Amino acid sequence: MSIPDSVLSGLRGSLTSSAIITPLDEGYTDAIRRWSDTGIKQAGVVIQPTTTEDIVSALKWSQTHHIDLAIKSGGHSVSGTSSSQGGLVIDLSRLNRVTVNPETKTAVVGGGAVWKDVDEALAEHGLAAVGGTVNHTGVGGLTLGGGYGWLSGQYGLTIDNLLSAKVVLADGSIVTASDTENSDLFWALRGAGYNFGVVVEFTFQAYEQSTPVYAGIVAFTPDKVEGVIGVLNSLLVEKPDPRSGAITIFARPPGAPVPMVNVLVFYNGTEAEGNVRFAELLALEPVVNMVSMIPYSQVNALQNPMATYGDRKSFKGIFFNPPLSPSFAKQVLADFTEKVQSDADLGASAILFEFYDMTKTVEVPRSATAFASRGTTQNGIITLRWSDKGKDGEHRAWARGMQQKYKERLDEEEQAAGAGGVPQYINYAEPGDSVVGNIYGENFDRLRELKRKYDPTNVFRKMHPITLE
């Protein structure tokens, strides 16, 4: 259903410096493009503002005419929460400026920036911030849901390093949220921020990072899976080091006949220190070793070849309290291999398990922010990728069934409970996931009160909505 020209004319007349793109305009296909084709919806109109004032005007227009609204930062939602069927999309991509203050080690980041923008701007000053591990992820989406990264072991979550945010509220008012201004809104933004407004600017604390880091992928044949998981368990549980992290990626590299056990390793130190840290892992004789010393600004690009735009994708979050059972991991790999071997269209799919030091994350009290999964739980993702739209239901059902099966298995082994809060990371949970009934945990009641205060008509309701009743 298209938006009548008479209604669109009101929007055009209210904007001063935004690109306005309708289905009849050149560039419309690019404007509604998303990281996953499953996230694409046919918007009635897309605006790409360069000023906060145009966002205010567009918000008021959408409410006056009862037009569905979506906010797009990086556009990584596989379920289309940054898209609108027939409505208005406020695409923040032109608000992507990053301003660095080397004296205070802070960065002011536009709400439409991606982490590549931040990583590279900070690197020019020998600095780094806690950001996403895929650098074309939007700053906005990752931050408002908490934000894990390679530097979380040393500095905590992305939200733990957020100093302030500039927000356009549903009524059009522009406010700053911080520990000293609108502190209740600042609390809510850090973990449930999708529900409270359009964040047009973030201010982050950054840290000195002038030296290169030890990082890269090592790949093992499937028979090594239990040994690999055993080593990573030992490093995380018995030899914790906040400068270290790893992600195990079950995926089929180009040319490989079956999925391999790929491990992306990270150590914020020297090559000698990294080699010592991962000596037991390297002793398992990987068939591929691409670890080297690289600038931190390049680390978050290492997964980009596996996380390209296009095709249809499904995310299903899984979670475990370490140590992860090696026999369970072996079964996951076997299930996954059987699935991808049954359909060549699934060849670019993957299952990931993260191994991050959570010490710094759990030091922050759960009551300090809205973020609900502040515990020892580690995160994982079942991510399927395919091209045949006709198999959407089949592939999503398989992923959903595996998600539930794995949760039940980990519960039996007492490996899903975690210490404190909701075990599932909100940014890895598709809206409607049933493995956690209340994604906001003990913070839900306060969030509902703040929702009534800051968005009483429920304008912002796309991503894990907070119900008002």
In the block, residue with structure tokens 């044949």? 221
Tell whether 355 and 396 lie within a shared domain: yes
* Residue at which a domain ends, from 179, 209, 239: 209
Q: Check whether residue 345 and residue 360 sit in a common domain.
A: yes
| 383 has pLDDT over 70 | yes
Q: In this predicted model, what pLDDT tens digit does every residue of 77-131 receive, in sequence order?
A: 999 999 999 999 999 999 999 999 999 999 999 999 999 999 999 999 999 999 9
Establish if 325 belongs to a structural domain.
yes
User: What is the chain's alpha carbon radius of gyration, rounded to the nearest angstrom?
Assistant: 22
Reading phi first (left if > 0) and then psi (alpha if -120 to 50, else beta), residue 420 is in left
Tens-place pLDDT, residues 240-265: 999 999 999 999 999 999 999 999 99
pLDDT at 432 over 90: no
In a domain, 200, yes or no: yes
Is residue 170 in a domain? yes
**d(C-alpha 131, C-alpha 376), whole Å:** 20
pLDDT higher than threshold 70 for residue 418: no
Dihedral of alpha carbons 168, 169, 173, 179, sign: negative
As a whole number of angstroms, the distance between CA 315 and CA 447 comes to 25
Do 176 and 115 reside in the same domain of the chain? yes
- Residue 161 confidence (pLDDT): 98
Handedness of CA 304, 40, 340, 324 (dihedral sign): positive
**Residue 420 confidence (pLDDT) above 70:** no
pLDDT at residue number 42: 98
Average pLDDT, the chain: 96
How many separate domains does the chain show? 3
Residues 107, 85 within the same domain: no
CATH number at residue 389: 3.40.462.20
pLDDT for position 326 = 97
Whether 82 and 119 share a structural domain: no
Sorting pLDDT into bands at 50, 70 and 90, what band is 413? confident
Same domain, 9 and 152: no
What CATH number has the domain bearing residue 182?
3.30.465.10
Q: Tell me, what's the pLDDT at 234? A: 98
Domain boundary among 51, 67, 91: 91
24: burial class by Cβ within 10 Å (0-12, 13-18, 19+)? exposed
Q: Which of 93, 1, 81 is nearest to 45 (CA)?
A: 1
Is the distance from CB of 35 to CB of 76 less than 8 angstroms?
Answer: yes
The average pLDDT across 418-429 equals 83
| pLDDT tens digits, one per residue of 303-312 | 999 999 999 9
pTM of the predicted structure, to 2 decimals = 0.97
At 27-70, the pLDDT tens digits run 999 999 999 999 999 999 999 999 999 999 999 999 999 999 99
At 414 the pLDDT is: 74
Are 73 and 128 in a shared domain? no
Q: Are residues 128 and 272 in the same domain?
A: no
What pLDDT is recorded for position 417?
63
Q: For residue 433, what pLDDT is reported?
A: 73
Q: Which residues of 297-314 are buried (b: 16+ CB within 10 A; e: fewer)?
A: bbbbbbbeebbeeebbbb
Residue 452 lies in a domain: no
List the domain range (segments joined by +) for residue 205.
98-209
Q: Are residues 154 and 172 in the same domain?
A: yes
**Residue 176 pLDDT class (50, 70, 90 cuts):** very high
The reported pLDDT for the residue numbered 304 is: 95
Residue 467, domain member (yes or no): no
pLDDT for the residue 2: 87
230 DSSP 8-state letter: H
Q: Of 56, 91, 126, which marks where a domain is finished?
A: 91
Same domain, 375 and 332: yes
A 10 A CB-CB count for 53 gives 17
10 and 54 co-located in one domain: yes
19 and 112 belong to one structural domain: no
Closest listed residue to residue 207, CA positions, set 358, 301, 100: 100
Task: Give me the mean pLDDT over the 346-365 stretch.
Answer: 97
Does position 351 have pLDDT exceeding 90, yes or no? yes
Question: Would you say residue 425 has pLDDT above 90?
Answer: yes
Kindly report, residue by residue over 287-338, the tens digit of the pLDDT. Answer: 999 999 999 999 999 999 999 999 999 999 999 999 999 999 999 999 999 9
Determine, yes or no, domain membership for 281. yes
Locate 258 and state its tokens.
């079956």
Domain assignment present for 458: no
Any idea what the CATH number is for the domain that residue 45 is in? 3.30.43.10
Q: Is residue 81 part of a domain?
A: yes
Query: What percentage of the chain exceeds 70 in pLDDT?
Result: 99
Distance CA 90, CA 286 (A): 46
Other beta carbons less than 10 A from residue 386's beta carbon: 24
State the pLDDT at residue 1: 63
pLDDT value of position 217: 98
- In 3D space, the residue among 350, 293, 288, 301 whose CA is nearest the CA of residue 120 turns out to be 301
